[in-house]
């Protein structure tokens, strides 16, 4: 049985999804869950890109042990030095350096010729080698590069010490058969290929990222780069859960395995969705809400008689909680803490206390507390980012014959401010008030509201997308009162924008 390495890039490529930015504390949460999931390598960030990225890589290196932590860098000295610095505390570190190899990129982006690119790549690998033995080289835009040139550069970087060579489909251009042939070509033509692991990194622009990755595995790739829920640049990356479950369910065909603890997949997926605010589509393979739902009568009948008639895997294989036991007013701290663990949150005692306080408040407003409610309150209360803006109080008056008016009291950088404003509706009034108080110039691109669980006492969850100065952020907030949830979401997004502005 071949063992395929899983290189998770949710924290680097995944975070490049428009609006999916995570703060450092959120990244630590994700990294800890990825460790539990059993990924082999975590790509924690691009240290030279921003102080926030540096800090994330550095803290993950310090706080998450027993796993390889990778930092991305261009093929430049200063990038590599910065990555090495960030990775210093890691038990096992990998420096991942890249340069483009396609003629399009050479001509228009790098303005370098092929020999110069090989020299830069070799120099970068040698430099990285001074800090760690574990060096990965990526030939950016490999699938639009000349195959023989790709063989040449692969041979040279392996000679220089690269232990993993990645052949990314950066622009999501290739198709399974072609990609498989390219991997096979490299396996056959590069004389020292046995000294390195071939890695693949596919984007989903044509919806082929997973198919391409799986074909490459068949042809000899030993590492797959992927993200939870397939998030990433543009149409995203290959989805980790789809690759892993394809290898597991069709083990007879692939004869390859991973070290993933599949029972942690669902939890990880929910965590990423909560933290990034990127909702998983209901019909998404493996982790979508409908992935195990049988609607047609004939199917239901079949599954009841014999599960395998219509089910190729079981929900519990990916860790969908079988107990739907709801918590309520009388649930104690211990039961609550246990549920948090089951849901994949690794929180400090202080954070658990904060979450438990909020849970008690919620249990007064709402009879049954579902897993989704707990997830919402944790992401709301505990994973909160350093707050420039805080909501203190909110009062809204509206009705069929009344002009909607909102009074909002906020703490802004420590100062309390209050204002009363009217608008076209209660939410509009609240948003106008917040805009006036904060002086924000951000534009609201999207406003989405949904009930997390059933019933009129359900938590309402609001997601907003704000844009300012080229930055797009998502904010979310939840509350049994949808106007309060709307205010929280808006303020959450403003805090994220404030954080972005600090970073750049
Ligand atoms: Zn990518």
Lowest mean pLDDT among 1-5, 159-163, 498-502: 498-502
Instruction: Say whether pLDDT at 25 is over 50.
Output: yes
Instruction: Say whether pLDDT at 504 is over 50.
Output: no
Instruction: Say whether pLDDT at 185 is over 50.
Output: yes
Cβ proximity of 394 and 406 under 8 Å: yes
In this structure, the chain runs to a length of 504
Higher-scoring residue by pLDDT: 126, 311 = 126
Higher-scoring residue by pLDDT: 446, 260 = 260
Ligand 1 centroid to residue 305 C-alpha, Å: 44
Ligand 1 centroid to residue 237 C-alpha, Å: 7
Ligand 1 centroid to residue 50 C-alpha, Å: 18
Instruction: Say whether pLDDT at 471 is over 60.
Output: yes
Ligand 1 centroid to residue 48 C-alpha, Å: 17
Ligand 1 centroid to residue 304 C-alpha, Å: 42
Ligand 1 centroid to residue 202 C-alpha, Å: 7
Ligand 1 centroid to residue 334 C-alpha, Å: 41
- Three-state SS for 200? strand
Ligand 1 centroid to residue 373 C-alpha, Å: 33
Q: Determine the pLDDT at residue 333.
A: 87
Ligand 1 centroid to residue 343 C-alpha, Å: 28
Ligand 1 centroid to residue 492 C-alpha, Å: 28
Ligand 1 centroid to residue 112 C-alpha, Å: 22
* Rounded Cα gap, residues 69 and 61, in angstroms: 6
Instruction: Say whether pLDDT at 155 is over 50.
Output: yes
Ligand 1 centroid to residue 9 C-alpha, Å: 8
Higher-scoring residue by pLDDT: 252, 289 = 252
Q: Determine the pLDDT at residue 501.
A: 65
Ligand 1 centroid to residue 129 C-alpha, Å: 23
Higher-scoring residue by pLDDT: 370, 213 = 213
Higher-scoring residue by pLDDT: 222, 336 = 222
pLDDT above 90 as % of the chain: 65
Ligand 1 centroid to residue 16 C-alpha, Å: 9
Surrounding residues of ion ligand 1, Cβ less than 5 A: 13
Ligand 1 centroid to residue 210 C-alpha, Å: 13
Lowest mean pLDDT among 57-66, 155-164, 169-178, 484-493: 484-493
Ligand 1 centroid to residue 160 C-alpha, Å: 24
Find the mean pLDDT for residues 149-167. 98
pLDDT in tens, 398-426: 999 889 999 999 999 889 999 999 999 99
Lowest mean pLDDT among 78-92, 141-155, 380-394: 380-394
Ligand 1 centroid to residue 390 C-alpha, Å: 35
Compute and round to an integer the Cα radius of gyration of the chain: 24
Ligand 1 centroid to residue 232 C-alpha, Å: 7
Ligand 1 centroid to residue 377 C-alpha, Å: 32
Ligand 1 centroid to residue 258 C-alpha, Å: 21
Is the Cα dihedral 296, 302, 306, 310 positive or negative? Answer: negative
Q: What average pLDDT does the structure give for the chain?
A: 91
Which secondary structure element, helix H or strand E, spans residue 29, and what is its range? helix 24-37
* Rounded Cα gap, residues 53 and 16, in angstroms: 12
pLDDT in tens, 200-245: 999 999 999 999 999 999 999 999 999 999 999 999 999 999 999 9
* Rounded Cα gap, residues 6 and 223, in angstroms: 6
* Rounded Cα gap, residues 262 and 252, in angstroms: 18
* Rounded Cα gap, residues 242 and 217, in angstroms: 14
Instruction: Say whether pLDDT at 325 is over 80.
Output: no
- Give the β-pairing of 389-399 and 402-412: antiparallel
Instruction: Say whether pLDDT at 8 is over 90.
Output: yes
| Encoded tokens for 394 | 């909110």
Nearest CA to 229 out of 187, 190, 182, 266 is that of 266
Instruction: Say whether pLDDT at 297 is over 80.
Output: no
Instruction: Say whether pLDDT at 11 is over 90.
Output: yes
Find the mean pLDDT for residues 111-137. 98
Find the mean pLDDT for residues 16-44. 91
Q: Determine the pLDDT at residue 301.
A: 80
Ligand 1 centroid to residue 170 C-alpha, Å: 6
Ligand 1 centroid to residue 226 C-alpha, Å: 9
Ligand 1 centroid to residue 234 C-alpha, Å: 9
Q: Determine the pLDDT at residue 251.
A: 97
Please name every residue paired with 408 in a beta bridge, in sequence order, or none if there are none: 394, 419
Lowest mean pLDDT among 46-55, 165-174, 300-309: 300-309
For the chain, first and last CA: distance in Å? 47
Ligand 1 centroid to residue 141 C-alpha, Å: 10
């Amino acid at each position: 049985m071949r063992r395929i390495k899983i290189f998770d890039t949710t924290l680097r490529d995944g975070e490049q999804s428009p609006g999916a930015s995570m703060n450092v504390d959120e990244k630590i949460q994700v990294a800890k869950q990825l460790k539990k999931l059993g990924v082999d390598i975590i790509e924690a960030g691009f240290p030279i890109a921003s102080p926030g990225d540096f800090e994330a890589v550095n803290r993950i290196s310090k706080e998450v042990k027993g796993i390889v932590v990778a930092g991305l860098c261009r093929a430049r000295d200063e990038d590599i030095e910065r990555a090495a610095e960030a990775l210093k505390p890691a038990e096992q570190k990998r420096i991942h350096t890249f340069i483009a190899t396609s003629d399009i990129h050479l001509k228009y982006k790098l303005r370098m010729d092929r020999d110069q690119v090989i020299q830069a790549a070799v120099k970068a690998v040698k430099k990285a080698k001074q800090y760690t033995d574990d060096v990965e080289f990526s030939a950016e835009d490999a699938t639009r590069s000349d195959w023989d040139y790709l063989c040449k550069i692969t041979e040279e970087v392996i000679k220089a010490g690269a232990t993993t060579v990645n052949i990314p489909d950066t622009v999501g251009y290739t198709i399974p058969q072609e990609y498989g042939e390219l991997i096979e070509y490299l396996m056959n033509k590069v004389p020292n290929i046995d000294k390195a692991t071939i890695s693949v990194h596919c984007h989903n622009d044509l919806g082929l990222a997973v198919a391409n990755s799986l074909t490459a595995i068949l042809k000899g790739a030993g590492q797959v780069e992927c993200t939870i829920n397939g998030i990433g640049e543009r149409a995203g990356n290959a989805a980790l859960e789809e690759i892993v479950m394809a290898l597991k369910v069709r083990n007879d065909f692939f004869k390859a395995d991973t070290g993933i603890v599949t029972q942690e997949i669902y939890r990880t997926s929910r965590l990423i969705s909560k933290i990034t605010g990127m909702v998983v589509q209901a019909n998404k393979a493996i982790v979508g809400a409908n992935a195990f739902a049988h609607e047609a009568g004939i199917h239901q009948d079949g599954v009841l008689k014999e599960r395998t008639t219509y089910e190729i895997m079981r929900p519990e294989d990916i860790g969908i909680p079988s107990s739907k036991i709801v918590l309520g007013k009388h649930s104690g701290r211990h039961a609550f803490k246990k549920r948090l663990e089951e849901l994949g949150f690794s929180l400090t005692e202080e954070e658990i206390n904060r979450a438990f306080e909020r849970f008690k408040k919620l249990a007064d407003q709402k009879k049954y507390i579902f897993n989704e409610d707990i997830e919402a309150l944790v992401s709301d209360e505990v994973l909160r980012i350093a707050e420039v803006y805080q909501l203190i109080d909110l009062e809204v008056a509206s009705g069929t014959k009344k002009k909607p008016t909102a009074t909002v009291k906020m703490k802004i950088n420590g100062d309390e401010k209050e204002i009363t404003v009217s608008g076209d509706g209660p939410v509009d009034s609240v948003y106008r008030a917040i805009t006036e108080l904060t002086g924000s110039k951000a534009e609201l691109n999207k406003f989405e509201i949904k009930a997390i669980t059933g019933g009129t006492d359900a938590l309402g969850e609001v997601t907003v997308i704000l844009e300012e100065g080229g930055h797009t952020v998502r904010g979310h907030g939840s509350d049994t009162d949808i106007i309060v949830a709307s205010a929280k979401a808006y303020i959450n997004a403003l805090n994220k924008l404030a954080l972005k502005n600090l970073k750049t």
